[in-house]
Structure formats: C-alpha cells, structure tokens
A = this chain, B = another copy of it.
C-alpha cells in the first residue's frame, strides 16, 4: 500500500534502548510499534480501549502476526507507523501496517499484518464483533460492508 492510503499515521521516534548491536531496532520491537498503532487506531475510530470493549463484554487478542523487514530503523529515526483495517470478518480483524521514515514515505522499512480475534475475555472463545465496533471501523475506513461482513 502507499503511504497516502493510510488514514492513521502515528509519529514515533526510535529510542536508544530499542536499538541493538547491529545498529538497528531489534526485530521484536517492531511489534511494540505496531501495538502503539493499534492503540491509536482504537482512539482514532472513537473507541476507548479497553473500557469500551469491556463494556461490550468483549476483548481482542492477537491471533497471528507477520512482519517483513525491508530495512532497519536506526537510533533517533523519526517514523510513522501506519495502520488500516484490511479485512473485517465476523469475529476477526486483519490490520495491515507499515513503518516509514518521515523523510522517506515512498517505501516502508517494514510491512506487517496483525490478525486479531474478538473473543470473550474469560474463555477467550471467539465471538462476533459488537455491531457498534463494526460500525466505527467501517466509518473510519470509509469502506462499504465487506463480503464476509454480511448480516448474520
């Protein structure tokens, strides 16, 4: 995806403690950046996490994460971590995320995909997204209802 296609672009600066001896951000820390983006995503669509989810008797859990590393972010880099909903399923949500240098938004440093499942907080069994949350996501992304997002 292109940088311009993301409505959510979260600014971030690389911390000293995140950089390893290869001089680049340690590979696992990019998932922390992605998580920061997800936090901001909920805020951006108008959902307070975790309070609002809890009010719906629901919570979200990462089911799968995939990251491709194209180039390393270095100490003090100013970045944008971008995220958007690529697919909204009955109880799942697939985020696509990319990390860009603020000075170089034509090609990402990393590309990631996070698949979340909506589930009940105790048994952690998947359950449909509350309709209110679906509506917030659709409105934010300005997407029509997706195929697998049909009335149940």
Identify the A interface with B (CB < 8 A). Answer: 15-17, 19-23, 26-32, 34-36, 39, 49-50, 59, 61-69, 75-76
Contacts and interface: CB of A to CB of B under 8 A. Distances in A.
Contact of A39 (B15, B20, B23, B49): B15
A14 to B, nearest CB: 10
A21 B35 CA distance: 14
Contacts of A36: 15-16
Within the oligomer, what is the number of copies of this chain? 4
Contact of A19 (B15, B20, B61, B62): B20
A-B pairs with the 5 shortest C-beta distances?
A28-B31, A27-B62, A17-B26, A66-B66, A65-B67
A6 B112 CA distance: 28
Nearest to A112: B65
Given A16-B26, A66-B66, 18 more contacts: A15-B36, A15-B39, A16-B21, A16-B35, A16-B39, A17-B28, A17-B29, A21-B21, A26-B32, A26-B35, A27-B31, A28-B28, A28-B30, A31-B31, A61-B69, A64-B67, A64-B68, A65-B65
